[in-house]
């Protein structure tokens, strides 16, 4: 918070006494007498004006001081949370959930504005999949070769600006999405860069194309828009103020994070647990989960952050479970230590959860805890939670569990604990 100084007025210098030169004695007396009366009245008025000004300055100064104290009090009472994590981990979805849960959600105008983004997600998804069909090794063939002209149509859209989504776009996209060859390519999406919401919105083409379509909260949560810059969301829970900062997760966005580090109550580090078999967009080589581990380590060991605890959101548990149960991408093929890993004694099996999923999610948890315990000095702690950012009830429950932790961090921050 910047410094603001109180205003204190000083007195004006005294006015000079007028001189009348070598006038006749009588004239001098008369001149001095008349001039004295005039000068005295004028001086009195100036003195009174000065008193009024000083009084106004003191009042203004008190108002400034009072305002500064109030701002400082509110600032100290506010919990500032910094959302960090690699790209496409689900940070922005967490922010959307806070709006739904604590800021009356999204109004009709905001929902309307998101329709274009949702349509763009559908377009990006089908373009990416049909492009990958020819680029993968081995390539993927259409189940119905007669759909080739539909692929040609989609590929020709890539260079079009201000696309208006005509009816034939939805027809071609829907038909392609029903082709078993396209579905087979989608199943290999870990081999190329595809947005997580691809299946969700491709399954909803008939709904999205309607003129009267209004996005649901779930549609807004699933909608993917690249985060660039820093976005602040303010909300209140049980009369406690929270400010949550969301910043871009791609490598070129991370340099902006340092601007938010000052006086942060806690860091919420978000991980895409399902990304163990994927590579990052930036270089198409680095494993996404390994990138998240490296980033977490750099934040945990940063000398400027040694007193800030980290709440670890092991996100996308729904997608992780799907991959583990499908059995097509084995974790040990990407993280060999998993082959020797056994489910820990502190593991809690969720209702109806497959033991294979439990083992996988706790392995990923322990990979992060191994970093925090190896270099922990007792000044900050790591609190892991399993999350599904698109599940509002899950986020409600997890955030409620985190509030006590955040409160303790806040009290410790201002040496009240």
Task: Supply the pLDDT for residue 251.
Answer: 61
Tokens standing for residue 312: 């670890």
Q: Are residues 252 and 377 in the same domain?
A: yes
| In-domain check, residue 33 | no
Q: What is the pLDDT along the chain (417 residues), one digit of tens a residue?
A: 444 433 334 444 444 444 444 443 444 444 444 555 678 788 888 888 888 888 888 888 888 877 776 666 666 779 999 999 998 999 999 999 999 999 999 999 999 999 999 999 999 999 999 999 999 999 999 999 999 999 999 999 987 878 999 999 999 999 999 999 999 999 999 999 999 999 999 999 999 999 999 999 999 999 999 877 788 899 999 889 999 998 865 566 655 566 556 688 999 999 999 999 999 998 889 999 999 999 999 999 988 888 899 999 999 999 999 999 999 999 999 999 999 999 999 999 999 999 999 999 999 999 999 999 987 677 789 999 999 999 999 999 999 999 988 988 888 766 654
Which CATH number do you get for residue 132? 1.10.400.10
Whether residues 291 and 326 fall in one domain:
yes
The predicted structure's pLDDT at residue 400: 94
SS3 115: helix
102 and 169 inside one domain: no
Residue 82 β-bridge partners: 245, 267
For tokens 């994070």, name the residue. Answer: 257
**Domain assignment of residue 266, yes or no:** yes
Round to whole Å and give the CA distance between 296 and 188: 28
From 179, 203, 221, give the residue that closes a domain: 221
CATH number at residue 315: 3.40.50.300
Are 401 and 259 members of one domain? yes
Residues 335 and 193 both lie in one domain: no
Supply the pLDDT for residue 10: 42
Are residues 201 and 260 both part of a single domain? no
In this structure, the answer to whether residues 236 and 314 fall within a common structural domain is yes
Does residue 99 sit within a domain? yes
Rg from Cα positions in the chain: 33
Provide the CA 360 distance to its chain's centre, in angstroms.
27
The answer as to whether 323 is a domain residue is: yes
pLDDT, residue 410, reads: 81
Query: Can you give the pLDDT at residue 254?
Result: 57
Same domain as 338, residue 210: no
Here the tokens at position 64 are: 């400034």
| Same domain for 373 and 237 | yes
Give a yes or no: residue 18 inside a domain.
Answer: no
Say yes or no: 171 and 240 in one domain. Answer: no
Distance CA 362, CA 104 (A): 34
Domain match, 101 and 122 both:
no
Q: How many Å is the maximal CA-CA distance in the chain?
A: 124
- Distance from C-alpha of 161 to C-alpha of 380, rounded to nearest angstrom: 49
CB atoms within 10 A of CB 26: 8
CB burial of 59-71 (b: ≥16 within 10 Å; e: otherwise) equals eeeeeeeeebeee
For 380, the domain range is: 80-106+227-276+285-410
- Going by C-beta distance under 8 Å and a sequence separation of 6 or more, which residues neighbour residue 299? 84, 267, 269, 305, 310
2 domain-assigned: no
Please give the backbone phi and psi of residue 315, each rounded to the nearest 5 degrees, phi first: -90, 175
Q: Are residues 311 and 201 in the same domain?
A: no
Residues 22, 85: Cα–Cα separation, whole Å: 88
β 310-315/382-386 pair status: parallel
pLDDT computed for residue 376 by the predictor: 63
Residue 320 CB-half CA count within 13 A: 30
Q: What is the 3-state secondary structure (H, E, C) of 224-235?
A: CCCCCCEEEEEE
pLDDT at 60: 86
Q: Hey, which residues are catalytic here?
A: 88, 93, 224, 246, 250
Q: Is residue 61 in a domain?
A: no
Domain boundary among 221, 246, 264: 221
Number of structural domains, the chain? Answer: 2
In a domain, 31, yes or no: no
Query: Which residues are documented as binding site for GTP?
Result: 88-93, 221-227, 246-250, 315-318, 389
Q: CB–CB of 359/348 below 8 Å?
A: no
pLDDT of residue 1: 41
Which phi and psi (to 5°) does residue 3 adopt?
Answer: -85, 145
- CB count, 10 Å around CB of 343? 15
């Amino acid at each position: 918070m910047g410094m603001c100084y109180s205003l204190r007025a000083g007195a004006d210098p005294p006015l000079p006494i007028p001189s009348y030169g070598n006038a006749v004695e009588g004239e001098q007396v008369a001149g001095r007498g008349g001039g004295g009366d005039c000068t005295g009245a004028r001086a009195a008025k100036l003195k009174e004006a000065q008193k009024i000004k000083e009084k106004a300055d003191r009042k203004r100064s008190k108002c400034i001081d009072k305002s500064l104290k109030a701002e400082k009090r509110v600032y100290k009472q506010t919990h500032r949370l910094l959302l960090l994590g690699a790209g496409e981990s689900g940070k922005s979805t967490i922010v959307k959930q806070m709006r739904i849960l604590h800021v009356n959600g999204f109004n009709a105008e905001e929902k309307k504005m998101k329709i274009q983004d949702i349509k763009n997600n559908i377009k990006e998804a089908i373009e990416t999949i049909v492009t990958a069909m020819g680029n993968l090794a081995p390539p993927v063939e259409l189940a119905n070769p007669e759909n080739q002209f539909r692929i040609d149509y989609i590929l020709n859209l890539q260079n079009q600006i201000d696309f208006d989504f005509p009816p034939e776009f939805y027809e071609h996209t829907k038909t392609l999405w029903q082709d078993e060859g396209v579905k087979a390519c989608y199943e290999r999406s870990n081999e190329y860069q595809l947005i997580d919401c691809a299946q969700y919105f491709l399954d909803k083409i008939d709904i999205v194309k309607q003129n009267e379509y209004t996005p649901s909260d779930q549609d807004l949560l699933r909608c993917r828009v690249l985060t660039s810059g820093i976005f602040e969301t303010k909300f209140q829970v049980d009369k406690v103020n929270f400010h949550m900062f969301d910043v871009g997760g791609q490598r070129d966005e991370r340099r902006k994070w340092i601007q938010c580090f000052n006086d942060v109550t806690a860091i919420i580090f978000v991980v895409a647990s399902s990304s163990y078999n994927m590579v990052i967009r930036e270089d198409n080589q680095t494993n996404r989960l390994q990138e998240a581990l490296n980033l977490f380590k750099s934040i945990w060991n940063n000398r400027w952050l040694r007193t800030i605890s980290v709440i670890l959101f092991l996100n996308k548990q729904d997608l992780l479970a799907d991959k583990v149960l499908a059995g097509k991408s084995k974790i040990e093929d990407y993280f060999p230590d998993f082959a020797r890993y056994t489910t820990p004694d502190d593991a809690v099996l969720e209702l109806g959860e497959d033991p294979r999923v439990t083992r996988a999610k706790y392995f990923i948890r322990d990979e992060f805890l191994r970093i925090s315990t190896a270099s922990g000095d007792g000044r900050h702690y790591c609190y892991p939670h399993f999350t599904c950012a698109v599940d509002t009830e899950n986020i409600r429950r997890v955030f409620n569990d985190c509030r006590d932790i955040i409160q303790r961090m806040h009290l410790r921050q201002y040496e009240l604990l």
